[in-house]
A and B are shown apart, each in its own frame.
Chain A
Amino acid sequence: MSESPSTIGEAELQAWVDGRLDDARRAHVDAWLDARPDEAERLAAYRAARDQLHAVYDPILEETVPAALLRAPARRWRAAAAIAGWIALGAAVGGIAGWELRAERPGAAVARTEMPILAHRAALAHATYAPEVRHPVEVGADQEPHLIAWLSKRLGAAVKAPQLGAEGLALVGGRLLPRDPGPVAQFMYQNAQGQRVTLYVRTEAPEQRETAFRYAHDGNVRVFYWIDRKFGYALSSSDLEREQLLRLANVVYRQLNP
């Protein structure tokens, strides 16, 4: 052991905690700490807190970035458009952004109340996650049993992911979304052309009856939705045409009610 130095400033100790000393200085501080258990304990606690910070906040790096943040420049256009008036706004911006803009146009409140919450939330969730390239789902289809078990547990009811391979659609995976009361599940499917379909599944109150298929569209997201005993379902896509989506909804319905 090298001789124990007597003077080490707090700044250098902080740099030791942060692992920013060169080898010589680090050895110097190590030797100093060997002779001072109280100080060693204090610095060890600082390091533990640093590790804990990462343990707690690093998962945010893996979260899907909310679409609103990726559209920051579009939001500025919207501010400009607001000044110019609402003329042709939806048509000009189009796509998902245009869809979100509807809420701010006069008369949007009417459209909103006409669109049932199930279809609306499903369309919103579809528009948010279907364009995702890196993080379309939380749990991938490679862990399907885990995905199903997890979603069933969180929804408090046995959830199934329909197999749509015969329709050319492979399961990408799924995610859990918060809702009041209770969370909802979203499954995502994709065909060889990269076109995506999502199935939104929520639990229903026991008194809910079954309903026929209903159709709604929100901007460019088309949705077929229905309630079947314990569950409410909504099948959404902005890639497939209405007829294709209806056919798919029938397949899903039959699979879930063998």
Chain B
Amino acid sequence: MSDAQSLIALIPRLRRYARALVGDRAAADDLVQDTLERAWSKLHLFRYGTDLRAWLFTVMHNVHVNQVRSARPTDALDEEMPELAQRAAQGDALIVRDLDRAIAALPAPQREVLLLVALEDLSYEQAATVLGIPIGTVMSRLARAREKLRTLMYGKSATKLQVVK
């Protein structure tokens, strides 16, 4: 498979991560679109033999950070987006809403780490590379994200995290 084919094959993964990251469907596909445009133009910089998926998440992270920073107006093109398939199963709407809300309530840096590790199954090292942070920071953000999510979703008061000596 060429890099271009591999990139196209990874679009569903990018969409899944983007949806969980930004919540809103249209905004998520915008983020994927911007990521792909940037990735296509930078594909020659991708080092053969390294993990294309981790590289794409790196590109998406950078695009997302810039978007959040500039909070640009939405692209007029969106009105011409094709109709999107609705999910056939409607029964899980409640979980979606609750989890969406809980995920959205996490601070963005914690949300990114949690999603890259728990949803996208990146190694801790890959997550550190994607986000440009030390691995120790990945681990501490991951722990905080999980505890906060537990509090939000199960209503438990956060038990103090402590290292048992």
Contacts and interface: CB of A to CB of B under 8 A. Distances in A.
Contacts of B32: 69
A57 B82 contact: no
Given A18-B117, A61-B13, A61-B16, A7 B89 contact: no
Contacts of A17: 146
B93 to A, nearest CB: 10
A10 B29 contact: no
Given A69-B29, A127-B82, A138-B85, A52 B12 contact: no
Q: What is the interface of chain B mostly: helix, strand, loop, or mixed?
A: helix
B69 interface: no
A55 interface: yes
B68 interface: no
B36 A176 contact: no
A30 to B, nearest CB: 16
A139 B16 CA distance: 21
A60 to B, nearest CB: 4
B60 to A, nearest CB: 13
B119 A10 contact: no
Given A60-B16, A100-B80, A176-B88, A72 B36 contact: yes
Interface residues of B, number: 53
Nearest to B158: A42
Interface of B: 8, 11-13, 15-16, 19-20, 29, 32-33, 36-37, 40-41, 77, 80-89, 92, 95-96, 99-100, 115, 117-119, 123-124, 139-140, 142-143, 146-147, 149-150, 153-154, 156, 159, 161, 163-165
Given A49-B118, A55-B92, A69-B32, 15 more contacts: A15-B124, A45-B154, A45-B156, A49-B153, A58-B16, A60-B19, A62-B12, A63-B85, A66-B81, A68-B82, A69-B15, A69-B36, A75-B37, A100-B80, A103-B80
Interface of A: 6-11, 14-15, 17-18, 20, 38, 42, 45-46, 49-50, 52-70, 72-73, 75-76, 100, 103, 121, 124-125, 127-128, 138-139, 150, 175-179, 183
